[in-house]
């Protein structure tokens, strides 16, 4: 009985502690008065803030990573205010110095910066409050003609431009690793698969070129989305613009955003740029996942086509012999998270009226999570590729299975004047005849009889053997972009040229 009471008491203590810890995180971020929001003058005085409401509404915990972009936008805004005569030169100087100091402080102190106060809700209010605390009245002029609604729309655009630049670097690292692998192992002859059934022979490099082509398309979506969304939301205010003589062309120019956005309502209401990036990230994640799945199959002992560095495999806690491709599985698995964030963003936008709604604050939570995840997956993919080795002997030992040269045999017959459909029929028959053995094991008599029976008596002679076997076939492909020797070499040369021409340039 006493034991039971003791257990209940210690449980209650635990609960109380957990509660304290949770609220402690709140107050650790803040050392000022929880009831005061400096911009909420319309509130009945004396009304108490609910700590849960403060935690519920805040975005500071995730939007503080925008601080550099917010400061950049504020400086551009202040310079414009000075240019149109809304603030004095001395105000601008104080604002610029104050913001530069704040940026330096945050660069150094990060999350420990004392200006982060959760009751101020977000990065914008924290920076403004810190500026006012530092420089006084000039700081109070910074928000002239501006709302957090156009401010956050701008910050997001600036952040996305930087994120795209980071992603370009990560794509480039992956491209270079794939190119290096293709240069070393690319001429290895291997089967290709449709329906995961053996199809036609290819060289390994051609498959690597396929991944490169797909990843490159994913990368180009970054350029496309920056192009479509390139305009400046700043100066749109809360929804309707401003009665003050703001010059939005000036801020657009300073921030390298082309033009002012055409509609103040749309500029503050839309999050298309975030959704576009989430889509670009999802497509990247999808291709990474598909590549990961292919390599997981190649790494299985049933295939054994490939090895990767041990650092990118893990053991089993029970089965001592195991090396599992967990990193590739996680690249595949995390793709679903990217889709989730994309759908989250789309759903967030579908039911809100035109104009800012607080729902939109969630955009950053979704986008940052998708971005961080895809960055990690791209980095991991590049490292895995750098350690990969195609297993030539193992692959070669399987090449005689599955009649990979059957299509080439039909094309040989076409070169001898046989209509393709008839050739297809002849080869089908020969495949059945060969059974488990390769087509090249049939004697000439067998080929000639099959042709004769199809009404093509002169279609086949000794030269047929030059068209059989995987290594002959990969040398015969001649259509542009083919997956054999010539197609691979042409594609590889184009990739190498792209980087040789401007090694420092964007991929």
Between 159 and 412, CB nearer to ligand ARG? 159
Between 74 and 149, CB nearer to ligand ARG? 149
Tell me the C-alpha distance between 326 and 311, whole Å: 10
Between 71 and 152, CB nearer to ligand ARG? 152
CB of 361 to ligand ARG, least distance (A): 4
Instruction: Count the neighbouring beta carbons within 10 Å of the beta carbon of residue 82.
Output: 20
Tell me the C-alpha distance between 453 and 108, whole Å: 84
Q: Using CB under 6 A as the criterion, which residues of the chain lie in contact with ligand ARG when the complex forms? A: 59, 63, 122, 148-149, 152, 356, 358, 360-361
Tell me the C-alpha distance between 451 and 470, whole Å: 22
Instruction: Count the neighbouring beta carbons within 10 Å of the beta carbon of residue 33.
Output: 10
Active centre residues (catalytic): 195, 316
398, 390, 415: which is closest to 478 by C-alpha? 415
CB of 23 to ligand ARG, least distance (A): 22
Between 66 and 296, CB nearer to ligand ARG? 66
Asked if 181 contacts 388 with a C-beta cutoff of 8 angstroms, the reply is yes
Between 153 and 246, CB nearer to ligand ARG? 153
CB of 119 to ligand ARG, least distance (A): 13
363, 140, 161, 163: which is closest to 268 by C-alpha? 363
Mention every residue, 6+ apart, whose C-beta is less than 8 A from residue 64.
111, 116, 123, 126
CB of 210 to ligand ARG, least distance (A): 40
112, 114, 126, 123: which is closest to 155 by C-alpha? 123
CB of 45 to ligand ARG, least distance (A): 21
Torsion 78-83-87-90 (CA) sign: positive
């Amino acid at each position: 009985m006493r034991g039971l009471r003791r257990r209940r008491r210690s449980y209650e203590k635990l609960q109380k502690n957990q509660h304290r810890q949770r609220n402690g995180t709140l107050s650790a971020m803040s050392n000022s008065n929880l009831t005061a929001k400096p911009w909420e003058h319309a509130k009945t005085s004396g009304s108490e803030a609910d700590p849960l409401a403060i935690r519920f509404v805040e975005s500071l915990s995730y939007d503080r990573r925008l601080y550099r972009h917010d400061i950049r936008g504020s400086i551009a805004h202040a310079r414009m205010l000075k240019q149109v005569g809304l603030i004095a030169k001395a105000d601008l100087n104080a604002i610029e110095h104050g913001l530069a100091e704040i940026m330096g402080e945050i660069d150094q102190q990060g999350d420990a910066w004392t200006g982060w106060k959760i009751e101020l809700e977000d990065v914008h209010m924290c920076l403004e409050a810190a500026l006012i605390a530092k420089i006084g009245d000039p700081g109070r002029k910074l928000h002239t003609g501006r709302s957090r609604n156009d401010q956050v729309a701008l910050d997001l655009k600036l952040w996305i431009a930087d994120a795209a630049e980071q992603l370009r670097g990560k794509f480039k690292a992956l491209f270079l690793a794939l190119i290096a692998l293709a240069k070393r192992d690319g001429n290895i002859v291997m089967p290709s698969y449709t329906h995961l059934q053996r199809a036609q022979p290819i060289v390994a490099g051609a498959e690597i070129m396929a991944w490169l082509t797909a990843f490159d398309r994913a990368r180009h979506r970054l350029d496309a989305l920056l192009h479509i969304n390139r305009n400046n939301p700043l100066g749109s205010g809360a929804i309707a613009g401003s009665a003050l003589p703001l010059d939005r062309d000036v801020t657009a120019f300073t921030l390298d955003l082309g033009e002012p956005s055409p509609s103040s309502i749309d500029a503050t209401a839309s999050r298309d740029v975030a959704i576009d990036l989430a889509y670009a990230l999802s497509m990247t994640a999808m291709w990474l996942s598909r590549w990961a799945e292919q390599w997981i199959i190649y790494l299985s002992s049933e295939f054994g086509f490939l090895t990767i560095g041990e650092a990118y495999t893990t053991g089993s806690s029970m089965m001592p012999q195991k090396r599992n491709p967990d990193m590739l599985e996680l690249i595949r698995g995390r793709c679903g998270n990217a889709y989730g964030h994309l759908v989250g963003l789309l759903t967030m936008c579908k039911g809100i009226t035109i104009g800012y709604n607080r729902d939109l604050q969630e955009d950053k939570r979704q986008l940052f999570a998708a971005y961080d995840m895809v960055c990690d997956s791209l980095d991991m993919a590049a490292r895995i590729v750098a350690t990969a080795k195609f297993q030539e002997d193992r692959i070669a030992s399987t090449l005689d299975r599955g009649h990979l040269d059957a299509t080439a045999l039909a094309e040989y017959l076409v070169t001898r004047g046989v209509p393709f459909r008839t050739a297809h029929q002849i080869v089908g028959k020969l495949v059945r005849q060969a059974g488990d053995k390769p087509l090249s094991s049939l004697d000439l008599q067998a080929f000639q009889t099959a042709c004769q029976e199809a009404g093509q008596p002169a279609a086949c002679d000794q030269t047929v053997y030059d068209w059989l076997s995987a290594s002959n076939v990969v040398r015969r492909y001649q259509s542009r972009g083919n997956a054999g020797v010539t197609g691979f070499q042409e594609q590889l040369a184009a990739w190498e040229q792209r980087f040789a021409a401007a090694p420092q340039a964007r991929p």
